Structure 1
Amino acid sequence: MISDTAFLAHDHAPASTPLKRGEAAASAPTPGAVAASVNAPAPELGILRERFSALFQRIADTAAEREHTRTLAYAPILWLKDSGFTALRVPPQWGGSGVSIPVFFELFQDLAAADSNVAQILRPHFGFIDRLLIDRDAATQAHWLPLAGQGAVFGNATTETGVGAVGHLQTTLEPDAEHTGQWRLNGRKFYSTGTLYADWVIVVARSTTPGQADDVVNAIVPTELAGVERLDDWHGFGQRLTGSGSTVFTDVLVPESSIIRFPRQEPTPLVAYFQLVHLATLAGIARAVQRDAVTYVQARKRVFSHGSAALPKEDPLVQHIVGELASTAYIAHLAVNDVATHLQAIAEQRRAGVEVSRATLDALELRTAQAQVAVVEPVLRAATRLFDVGGSTALEESRRLDRHWRNARALASHNPVIYKARSVGDILLNEAEPVYYWHVGTKAN
């Protein structure tokens, strides 16, 4: 296991200084500026694509080499921060672009096509921003959204390994006996996606106060704070650069102002949003598979003696496979756009002050689960069929075409698709309610 401090000593460490707590208040916009920025129109998709196209190409051009040498993606994350990409969903009054959900996910698919590792790194970051928007607590938004608007990146420390009971968190947050209004955070997390690259980490912990029932809360702490240790010990064969390893918290001092008590167990569009990030990343992988197949075939001159043309690109069998790959990318894109459009409709309804019905939220959750079931297997199949367009040169490690299948397989394993398919069937057959929250652990016999 290698600590984060070891990586920070290398050339690919981030060059920017993480934003500190309190910086948002120091640079808060004036009331007049807020009023003007609220009414400012969000940039159109075409303008944004033009703005980010060169950056996405730069990320794509270096993706295979990063994968081959396992060079952590500090540089691409810094480029995205500096470009304003990480603030796309932040409302203008807090320094962001305030783009709609469909526009954001179009751009997110572009990023995922360039490098799905980099897209997955930012899943907790964008999920946190939209959670603040969905929760609609003005004070919490005013505290954290300006930081995101200035470029701060948020990571994740939610899941724990081991044999703990389902739903029981071993990470604790306890009142500090010596400091009023301060808490002590202790625990160990795994699957800490993005935290190696983040300025802040969102920690799900069990709040324990004498004489009170335990509560599940989110503690948000700077990643460079004393007692926070980030380990690059992710050992999965996919998503090798996402920093999804361990984060250890040892007597980390957390002020009350950095603890968020989000509503829990209530139906919410946030679950669909987080799943949509996975779907958009899969759609980006499908587009990358199509792109790499076309690039490979167009440049290839060698053919098999029993082939059907003088050039691979003229071979009907190769053309057929490329057509299949492109069709998978097309359907995956449609699925992402469909879910994003429905999420946007719900966001606009809530923004207008109309409370969203349970039936609408249930329909969104069903739609998102169906999209996952529909997209996962075709994308995995496309990432395998990619190798049928050529010969042994497609297997060269320098190309790292295998990364597409490995990364897609890892994504499909996070929220296992078999349970989504079962949930869809149970809803349709038995009018069951969608499962909005789930946990991992062991069940008593």
Structure 2
Amino acid sequence: MTTQPLTSADLDARFSELFDRIAQGSIDREQNRTLAHEPVQWLKASGFTSLRVPRRYGGGGITLPQFFALLTQLGAADSNLPQILRAHFGFIEYRLEGRDETLRERWLTRVAKGETVGAATSERSNSTHNSVALARDDATGRFRLDGEKYYSTGTLYADWVSVAAHDADTDINVIVATHAPGVTRSDDWDGFGQRLTASGTTRFDGVLVAEEQIVSRYKASEPRRDSFMTAFFQTVHLATLAGITQAVQRDAVAFVQARTRTFGVPGRSSPRDNPLVHRVVGRLASLAYSTQSIVASLSASLQRLREARQAGHATTDDYIAVDIEAYKAQQIVIEQTLEASTLLFEVGGASATSEARQLDRHWRNARVIASHNPATQREAAVGRYHVNGIAPDERFSLPHEAQAARTDAARADLGESVQ
């Protein structure tokens, strides 16, 4: 293994052919709803799934800007794949944030060998309810995991699953093997986009869990101001959306170059020479540039915060600032990707709507990704932060009096009357 850090040129050379191979099969997989088991195996074998693992554990040790640039390229090849691996990459980052070297050593060395981790955290019921229970099994001296999760994206493809559970008053994160007795994974995701992410149900029926599989205990109601995981997970979505805008531009150009007649013009009239088509493609290229640039800027902020944390001087305000930046980026990238995936159809007539081309997958996939996190609530959170100085989600964890005090203090700083 080389001791020199991997450059962006090294990474492009290493993965460009693989991304091309993934892109070539994306339409067939979409048309036939063929789950992406083979592409996931390619990514594991190539070392892509361990790129963020530090070198001392056997991974690639690349930076966050390098990682998100590659993830954008993967999203352009097939937007299902970044989302399939979103929980896996989040698991790596969460371990990097943690200070337990035993856990890092145990799990990151597994990831470096190609093992992947899915997630089972969300449920169909109220988002504040956690129905999966962990209880000690007196017969074995181990723990027993029971319950059900939905939206367990990527778990059908994974070797392990990170589960949000509870025992009485404590919230717990446990990791179990996806092929362990009592684990059932179902591909019952019925969304109209991101159809291959297997974002369906995972059930746990008396799954035995050893003590070392419990990786954290926490209170879900307690605010977390020392983590950038919310921003990280959002940036994965934004990189995927930026990839979709790149794919839209690519497919628009390919469609135009293959045509011999402009819509509505009889006879032979090449769209390549039509200034209106040029304008549409120019707009698509600009949107692709914008979304990619926003992701690059946000990933650089995450990298700076990661380095500040490692140096021991990251502050609460630093974490809040990166969350706000991610929320702002979310508003623009979603809007621009949906614009691009609709505008795409202006390069051609009815032939652009052919099922064989699957051009509609770009809008469907973008719309589903955009729906995973509440963009409108986050836009309001940004406004509330700037007006009243209340950090995102803090209003859900602070007593009313504390919220009022924070708001009054912010107004005082702005020179306003608080009477």
* TM-score past 0.5 threshold: yes
How far does residue 262 in structure 1 lie from its aligned partner after superposition? 5.6
User: 1:123 maps to which residue?
Assistant: 86
User: 1:179 maps to which residue?
Assistant: 140
Cα deviation code 1:180-221 (max 9, x no counterpart) = 2x111011111110011000001101123xxxxx11111100
Kept in 2: contact 1:307–1:315 (CA 8 A): no
Kept in 2: contact 1:271–1:436 (CA 8 A): no
Code of the residue aligned with 2:239 in structure 1: it is A
In structure 1, C-alpha distance between the alignment counterparts of 2:110 and 2:378, rounded to whole Å: 35
Pair 1:155-2:118 in alignment: yes
Which among 52, 55, 70 is matched to residue 89 of structure 1?
52
Pair 1:167-2:128 in alignment: yes
Cα deviation code 1:305-364 (max 9, x no counterpart) = 459993112111111111111111111111111111011111111222x13111111111
Pair 1:197-2:157 in alignment: yes
In structure 2, C-alpha distance between the alignment counterparts of 1:436 and 1:46, rounded to whole Å: 41
In structure 1, C-alpha distance between the alignment counterparts of 2:217 and 2:379, rounded to whole Å: 28
User: 1:425 maps to which residue?
Assistant: 383
- What SS does the aligned partner of 2:25 have? helix
- What SS does the aligned partner of 1:41 have? coil
User: 1:318 maps to which residue?
Assistant: 277
Give the TM-score normalised by the residue count of structure 1. Answer: 0.85
User: 1:303 maps to which residue?
Assistant: 262
Give the TM-score normalised by the residue count of structure 2. Answer: 0.91
Code of the residue aligned with 2:164 in structure 1: it is V
Which 4+ stretches in 1 moved above 3 angstroms? 304-309, 436-439
Pair 1:260-2:215 in alignment: yes
Kept in 1: contact 2:171–2:218 (CA 8 A): no
Kept in 1: contact 2:87–2:154 (CA 8 A): yes
Code of the residue aligned with 1:249 in structure 2: it is F
Against the structure 1 CA distance between its residues 205 and 359, is the aligned structure 2 distance closer, same or farther, given a 3 Å change threshold? Answer: same
Pair 1:403-2:364 in alignment: no
User: 1:280 maps to which residue?
Assistant: 239
User: 1:222 maps to which residue?
Assistant: 177
Kept in 2: contact 1:172–1:185 (CA 8 A): yes
- What SS does the aligned partner of 2:90 have? helix
How far does residue 92 in structure 1 lie from its aligned partner after superposition? 0.9
Query: 1:353-368 counterparts in 2 under 5 A?
Result: 354-368=312-326
How far does residue 42 in structure 1 lie from its aligned partner after superposition? 2.3
Kept in 1: contact 2:263–2:348 (CA 8 A): no
How far does residue 302 in structure 1 lie from its aligned partner after superposition? 1.7
In structure 1, C-alpha distance between the alignment counterparts of 2:264 and 2:314, rounded to whole Å: 63
User: 1:443 maps to which residue?
Assistant: none
In structure 2, C-alpha distance between the alignment counterparts of 1:247 and 1:438, rounded to whole Å: 28
Code of the residue aligned with 2:109 in structure 1: it is P
User: 2:412 maps to which residue?
Assistant: none
Against the structure 1 CA distance between its residues 308 and 294, is the aligned structure 2 distance closer, same or farther, given a 3 Å change threshold? Answer: farther
Code of the residue aligned with 2:308 in structure 1: it is Q
Unaligned runs of 5+ in 2: 398-419
How far does residue 387 in structure 1 lie from its aligned partner after superposition? 0.7
Kept in 1: contact 2:261–2:267 (CA 8 A): no
Code of the residue aligned with 1:329 in structure 2: it is A
Against the structure 1 CA distance between its residues 403 and 92, is the aligned structure 2 distance closer, same or farther, given a 3 Å change threshold? Answer: same
CA RMSD of aligned residues (A): 1.8
The count of corresponding residues between Structure 1 and Structure 2 is 393
Greater CA drift, 271-280 or 426-435 = 426-435
In structure 2, C-alpha distance between the alignment counterparts of 1:240 and 1:226, rounded to whole Å: 27
User: 2:402 maps to which residue?
Assistant: none
Code of the residue aligned with 1:356 in structure 2: it is A
User: 2:195 maps to which residue?
Assistant: 240
User: 2:101 maps to which residue?
Assistant: 138
Kept in 2: contact 1:308–1:315 (CA 8 A): no
Unaligned runs of 5+ in 1: 1-36, 209-213, 440-445
In structure 2, C-alpha distance between the alignment counterparts of 1:227 and 1:312, rounded to whole Å: 58
Code of the residue aligned with 1:191 in structure 2: it is Y
User: 1:342 maps to which residue?
Assistant: 301
User: 2:403 maps to which residue?
Assistant: none
- What SS does the aligned partner of 1:71 have? coil
- What SS does the aligned partner of 2:305 have? helix
Code of the residue aligned with 1:239 in structure 2: it is Q
- Residue identity (%): 46
Greater CA drift, 136-145 or 275-284 = 136-145
User: 1:55 maps to which residue?
Assistant: 18
- What SS does the aligned partner of 1:248 have? strand
- What SS does the aligned partner of 1:261 have? strand
Higher RCO (C-alpha under 8 Å, 6+ residues apart): 1
Which among 35, 57, 61 is matched to residue 72 of structure 1?
35
Against the structure 1 CA distance between its residues 305 and 274, is the aligned structure 2 distance closer, same or farther, given a 3 Å change threshold? Answer: closer
Query: 1:28-47 counterparts in 2 under 5 A?
Result: 40-47=3-10
In structure 2, C-alpha distance between the alignment counterparts of 1:63 and 1:306, rounded to whole Å: 32
In structure 2, C-alpha distance between the alignment counterparts of 1:394 and 1:67, rounded to whole Å: 17
In structure 1, C-alpha distance between the alignment counterparts of 2:395 and 2:295, rounded to whole Å: 21
User: 1:333 maps to which residue?
Assistant: 292
Code of the residue aligned with 2:380 in structure 1: it is R
